[in-house]
Chains A and B, each alone.
Chain A
Amino acid sequence: MAVKMHILVCGGTGCSASQSHEIVAELNKELVAHDLTDFAKVVVTGCFGFCERGPIVKIIPDNTFYTRVKPSDAKEIIEEHIIKGRKVQRLLYVAPDTNQSVPDSKHMEFYKKQLRIALRNCGFIDPENIEESIARDGYSALGKCLTEMTPEQVIAEIKKSGLRGRGGAGFPTGLKWEIASKSRPGEQKYVVCNADEGDPGAFMDRSLLEGDPHSILEAMAICGYCIGADKGLIYIRAEYPLAIHRLQVAIQQAEEYGLLGKDIFGTGFNFEIELRYGAGAFVCGEETALIHSMEGKRGEPTFKPPFPAQSGYLGKPTNVNNVETYANIPVIINKGADWFASIGTEKSKGTKVFALAGKINNVGLIEVPMGITLREIIYEIGGGIKGGKKFKAVQTGGPSGGCLTEKHLDTPIDYDSLVAAGSMMGSGGMIVMDEDDCMVAIAKFYLGFTVDESCGKCTPCRVGNRRLLEILTKITDGKGTMEDLEQLKNLSAVIKDTALCGLGQTSPNPVLSTINNFWDEYVEHVVDKKCRAGQCKALKKYVIDPAKCKGCTACARACPVSAISGTVKNPHVINQLDCIKCGTCIEKCKFGAISIQ
C-alpha cells in the first residue's frame, strides 16, 4: 500500500524548542501501534513560518493545520484524523476576528497575502532528504544552466529579473556576478554564501537553511558556473547548530548524487562546497570582514575598493551573496526573468522574507511581494498589536536601520521607499513596538549592541558610538539637557560620514530615526523628566493615592529600602529620595492604591 497521508511536523529551531521532536516520536509510536506505517508517514520539515502558534503539525493532502500541538496530542491526531478522518477541532487555529476555527492554512489571514518564492520548500519537504528536494525541481535549474545556457546567458537572465541583494544593501545581483565573472579570468575564484545572520531579531536565513538547504547549494553552483569558480564556501554562525547540521547532510547527499563535486551532469563542470563557522561577531556580516574571518583572522573590515570581486578570499576574485538572494536564483532560472520581474515594484522585484517579531499577535516568518504596505503586514498578516495596545513603531534593518511610524503605514515597502522613510530594508528583521516601548530606550538598546559589536578598528565607530551611548544613558537617567540632543545629532552625522565600514556608517541610524520621528519623547525626557512609556526607571515616580490606601502596611513592610512611611490604618507616603523604583510596593498593594507617574 502506498503512503496516502503525510503528517508534516515543523522541525525548525523555534518548534524544536517546544518539543516538536517528542511529537514526532509519539506520532510514530502511534502509527506503529495501529499498524499504519504503510498508510501514513511523519515528515520533519523546515519552518512553516507561523512560529507564534508553534509547534505546528500539518496533514497532507487535506492541508489541515494544527497549532500549539503537544506530544500528548499525537494519539488523538492519529486515532481521530488519520483513522477516522475527523479533524481534531481543539487544535485548529481560531481566527481572532471571527472566532471561527480555520482548518486549512490557505484560508488563514497569516498566509493569504504571502507569496512564497524563496521559502517555497520550507515546511513542505524533509530538508534531510535530497529526493524530496529533487521532486520539487531541486537542481533542475542547475541542469538547465549547465546543459542549455552559457554563463553569459545565465547572468543576463539574472540581470533581467531585477533581483537585488537580500542582505540589506540591495545591490543588483546580476551585475555583481558579471563583475566577478569578468574579473581576472582564468584564475581561481570563490563563491561565498553569507549566512552570518547577526541582526538581533532576525531568523530568515536560519529558517531557509534549516528548511531548504539544497536550493542554496544549487544556486551557489550556478553562480560558480557563471563566474568561473569551482569552490564555494558558506560562512555560517556557530549559534545555528541545526542549520549547520542540515547543510552538512545536504552537501553530503548532493555529492553522493553527483550534483556537487566533479563533472556535474557530465558537463565537465566541477563545484564543491565547504562550511566555515563564525564565532560570534556581528561585524562579520560585512563582506570584507567576513572574508578575513574565513581566512582565520580577526573579522575586521577593510576599505573598499578593492571589492571582493577584484580581491577577496585569499586575494582571489570572490562573489559574496546572502542566503535569501541565492534562494531566489533557481526559481528565476526555472520560471524565467520575466515572471520574476512581474512581481514587486518598479525598482524592487520579487518578494522579501521578513522575520516578524515583537508586540504583534502573529510572530513568524513571512514572505511578501515587494510593494506591500506595512499596514497589510502588521494588521492582516500579523493580526494586529498584542493585547489590543496602540501601534507605535516598527523597526526594520536592525542596528543599521530605523523606525517607521504610523505615518509610514501605507507606504509600499521596497528598498528605496524604506531608505526615503529614514530606515532601510536590512536583511529582514521587523520588530513591532507598542505604546509601552520607550523610543529613547530603544535607541539606547541598539547603541549598546553596536558598542559591544564594534570591532574597534576605526575611531568614529569605536569612540563615537560609546559617546552616543553615554549621552543616551544620561537622558534615560533623567540628567539630559537640550544641548545633549544637539550633540546627539551632530555626533551621529560625523559617525555616518567618517566610519570605515557599513556597520559604523549606519550605526547612528537608530538614534537619528527615533529623533526624527519621536522628537517629542526626547524633549519630554530632557525637559519634563518624564518617560511616557514608563520604561526609564530613573524617571518613574511611584505614588500612593491617599483615598485608596487602607493603611494595611503591606507595602511598607515589603519595601527593601524602607522608603515608605505611615501608621496602621492611615494612608502611607513614599519618600521619593529613598525610593529605588523597584516596583515591589505595587505588587504587594491589594487595593490598587499605588501608581506610577
Chain B
Amino acid sequence: MVGPKVKITEANYLKIKDICASFNNNPGELINILHKTQGEFGYLPEEVQQVVADCLGIPVGRVYGVVSFYSFFTMKPKGKYAISVCLGTACYVKGAEKILDALKSELKISEGGVTEDGKFSLDVLRCVGACGLAPVMTINGKTYGRLVPEHVKEILAEYAD
C-alpha cells in the first residue's frame, strides 16, 4: 500500500468505530462507511482501513480492494483546496486540457499532486454534469465554468489566504 504512515489517536479510533456501528458493522455497507470515514478524515490511510476491517470483521484486503477500486476514495491527503478539472467529453472538446496545462504550470504540480505548502491539490474527473458550462473545474465543490486558460490565475488568487 502507498500513502503516509499515520498513528491513529484514541479519539479517531473511536470515531471510526462509531461510524461502523452506525451502519450496524455490516460489511454490505462498506462503501457507505468509507464515504463517511473519508468525509471525516479527508483520506483513507492504511491504518484507518485496518480499523474499519477490524470493526466489520473482514480482512483488510477486502477494504483495500474497495478503496483502490473506486476513484472517489484516496489514500493520500488532498490539498486544503482540492481542484478537480473536468475531462468529460464536452469539456475535452472545448479545451479542458489547456485549462489543466495552465493549472499545472501555475501550481507547478502534475495531476494527482499536492503543492508543497499543502494548499492546493490537482486532480481530473470525468464529468460533473455541467456540460452547458464547459470547460469546467471545481475547487472544494464550487464550480467554475466557461473557462479559458487566462482565468486560472485570477481564480487561484481568490484562495490567497
Q: Which stretch (B9-17, B86-94, B114-122) binds chain A?
A: B86-94
Query: Could you tell me the distance in whole angstroms from the C-beta of A3 to the nearest C-beta in chain B?
Result: 30
Expressed in whole angstroms, the Cα–Cα distance for A513 and B157 within the complex equals 44
A51 and B131 contacting across the interface, CB-CB below 8 Å: yes
Number of interface residues of B (CB under 8 A): 41
Chain A 167-180 per-residue mask, 1 if CB under 8 angstroms from chain B, else 0: 00000000000000
B89 and A298 contacting across the interface, CB-CB below 8 Å: no
Number of interface residues of A (CB under 8 A): 52
Cβ of B102 within 8 Å of any chain A Cβ, yes or no, is no
Cβ of B35 within 8 Å of any chain A Cβ, yes or no, is yes
Query: Could you tell me the distance in whole angstroms from the C-beta of A19 to the nearest C-beta in chain B?
Result: 10
Expressed in whole angstroms, the Cα–Cα distance for A296 and B125 within the complex equals 23
A364 and B132 contacting across the interface, CB-CB below 8 Å: yes
A13 and B129 contacting across the interface, CB-CB below 8 Å: yes
Chain B 71-86 per-residue mask, 1 if CB under 8 angstroms from chain A, else 0: 1110000000000000
A281 and B127 contacting across the interface, CB-CB below 8 Å: no
- In the bound complex, residues from chain A placing their C-beta under 8 Å from that of B91 are 201
Expressed in whole angstroms, the Cα–Cα distance for A18 and B144 within the complex equals 8
Selected contact of A398 from candidates B66, B89, B145, CB within 8 Å: B89
- In the bound complex, residues from chain A placing their C-beta under 8 Å from that of B88 are 200-201
Which residue on chain A has the smallest CB distance to residue B70?
Answer: A279
Query: Could you tell me the distance in whole angstroms from the C-beta of B22 to the nearest C-beta in chain A?
Result: 15
Expressed in whole angstroms, the Cα–Cα distance for A298 and B34 within the complex equals 13
Cβ of A297 within 8 Å of any chain B Cβ, yes or no, is yes
Which residue on chain B has the smallest CB distance to residue A204?
Answer: B129
- In the bound complex, residues from chain A placing their C-beta under 8 Å from that of B69 are 281, 298-299, 455
A17 and B145 contacting across the interface, CB-CB below 8 Å: yes
Cβ of B20 within 8 Å of any chain A Cβ, yes or no, is no
Query: Could you tell me the distance in whole angstroms from the C-beta of B104 to the nearest C-beta in chain A?
Result: 13
Cβ of B130 within 8 Å of any chain A Cβ, yes or no, is yes
A199 and B129 contacting across the interface, CB-CB below 8 Å: no
Cβ of A14 within 8 Å of any chain B Cβ, yes or no, is yes
B131 and A201 contacting across the interface, CB-CB below 8 Å: yes
B127 and A199 contacting across the interface, CB-CB below 8 Å: yes
- In the bound complex, residues from chain B placing their C-beta under 8 Å from that of A239 are 72, 125, 127-129
Expressed in whole angstroms, the Cα–Cα distance for A239 and B71 within the complex equals 11
A363 and B30 contacting across the interface, CB-CB below 8 Å: no
Which of chain A's residues 196-241 have a Cβ closer than 8 Å to chain B? 197-203, 206-207, 238-241
Chain A 358-382 per-residue mask, 1 if CB under 8 angstroms from chain B, else 0: 1100011000000000000000000
Cβ of A338 within 8 Å of any chain B Cβ, yes or no, is no
B90 and A200 contacting across the interface, CB-CB below 8 Å: yes
Which residue on chain B has the smallest CB distance to residue A16?
Answer: B143
B71 and A280 contacting across the interface, CB-CB below 8 Å: yes
Query: Could you tell me the distance in whole angstroms from the C-beta of B1 to the nearest C-beta in chain A?
Result: 16
Residues of A near any B CB (own CB < 8 A): 13-14, 16-18, 51-52, 54, 197-203, 206-207, 238-241, 276-282, 293, 295-299, 314, 355, 357-359, 363-364, 395, 398, 429, 431, 433, 437, 442, 445-446, 449, 455
Beyond contacts A278-B72, A437-B93: 10 other A-B pairs, Cβ-Cβ < 8 A, are: A13-B130, A14-B130, A17-B130, A200-B88, A207-B129, A278-B70, A279-B66, A281-B71, A295-B28, A299-B69
Ordered by A's residue number, 12 sampled pairs between the chains whose C-beta atoms are within 8 Å are A14-B145, A17-B144, A51-B130, A201-B88, A201-B89, A276-B31, A280-B72, A282-B126, A293-B31, A297-B62, A298-B66, A431-B89
